[in-house]
Amino acid sequence: MTTIKSITGYDDYLYHHMKESFKKAKKIDIIVSFLMESGVKLLEQDLIELKTKNIPIRILTGNYLNITQPSALYRLKDIFGDSADLRFFNEPNRSFHAKSYFFEYEDGADMYIGSSNLSKSAFTSGVEWNFKLDKLTHQVEYEQYYQVFEDLFYNHSIKITDAELDFYSKNWKKNKIYQTTPFPNTNFTEVAADEAPSYVTDLYSPRGAQIEALYHLKKTREEGFDKGLVVAATDATV
């Protein structure tokens, strides 16, 4: 039986493997240096199923250089509310590049470790190298990684509360990795450097600041208010 699986991202993408893990997981822990809206959107149905089944999930990510998109975090909070434990790595003088996904099942556990952050291209089209490691046959290695995750999560992080996320969002500026990429017919859009260009746009699907606005409107309704106002300047972005 194969207990360690090499996933190169060249013709065998990470998402196909993780999708099966999501289906049978009883607990999930994720540590990634950054989160992209495209990745959360890709996993949205899987995440909704986790919420429906009350599967616990913890996510530790970075806020260095403004690469993690606020819209990705707002999507996660919209799906899970307070049932997911979301945290920023918080050790300013130390770099943070870990990328691992832990899945615990009724009969064991796996971890995926490698180069893939939580983004669509990292899961479905990019050349990303990852290992799928079985805890049963690699118990020492699995537990070593997991112990470090636990330490980082509880001792070197801050919780992404609504207040913390609002602060991050208001101070967030597009990093230089976001580049303007030409589209056919001289239309333009801004994409992250790790995202493969796509010339198909989902109609009526909120993105960016729209996701944040919808999240706050939803919270306002939950607090009993039946009126709200969103004010935002227009720009030329397609």
Q: What is the pLDDT of residues 166-190, one digit of tens each?
A: 999 998 876 655 554 444 444 434 4
Residue in the structure block whose two tokens are 């001792």: 155
Residue 172 is predicted with a pLDDT of 87
Nearest-angstrom CA–CA distance, 174 and 192 = 9
Least confident of 41-45, 134-138, 142-146, 211-215: 211-215
Nearest-angstrom CA–CA distance, 101 and 99 = 7
**What average pLDDT does range 123-151 have in this prediction?**
95
Q: How many residues does the chain have?
A: 238
- The side-by-side arrangement of strands in the sheet containing 27-31 is 4-7, 130-134, 108-114, 100-105, 27-31, 57-61, 85-89, 157-159
Segments in 43-138 forming alpha helices (H): 44-52, 70-80, 120-124
CA neighbours closer than 13 Å in the CB half-sphere of residue 109: 18
Residue bearing the bigger pLDDT, 78 or 225: 78
Residue 173 is predicted with a pLDDT of 79
CB neighbour class for 106 (10 Å; exposed up to 12, middle 13-18, buried from 19): exposed
> For residue 234, is pLDDT > 80?
no
With residue 222 as reference, give the H or E element that holds it.
Answer: helix 209-222
> For residue 210, is pLDDT > 70?
no
Biggest alpha carbon distance in the chain?
59
Residue 232 is predicted with a pLDDT of 61
pLDDT band of residue 3 (cuts 50, 70, 90) is low
C-alpha dist (Å) from residue 213 to 65, 97, 200, 225, 230:
23, 30, 24, 15, 7
Supply the mean pLDDT for the chain.
83
Residue 176 is predicted with a pLDDT of 55
Sequence-separated (6 or more) residues with CB below 8 Å from residue 199:
183, 184
Q: What is the pLDDT of residues 5-19, one digit of tens each?
A: 899 988 889 999 999
pLDDT band of residue 212 (cuts 50, 70, 90) is low
**What average pLDDT does range 36-54 have in this prediction?**
96
Residue bearing the bigger pLDDT, 2 or 160: 160
Nearest-angstrom CA–CA distance, 172 and 68 = 9
> For residue 50, is pLDDT > 90?
yes
- Paired with 29 in beta bridges are 58, 102
**Taking the CB of residue 188, how many other CB atoms lie within 10 A of it?**
12
Read off the pTM: 0.76
Backbone angles phi, psi at 168, to 5 degrees: -60, -45
Residue 66 is predicted with a pLDDT of 85
Answer yes or no: are the C-beta atoms of 135 and 110 closer than 8 Å.
yes
**What average pLDDT does range 134-145 have in this prediction?**
95
Please, what are the domains in the chain?
4-170 (3.30.870.10)
Q: What is the pLDDT of residues 110-119, one digit of tens each?
A: 999 999 999 9
Residue bearing the bigger pLDDT, 21 or 224: 21
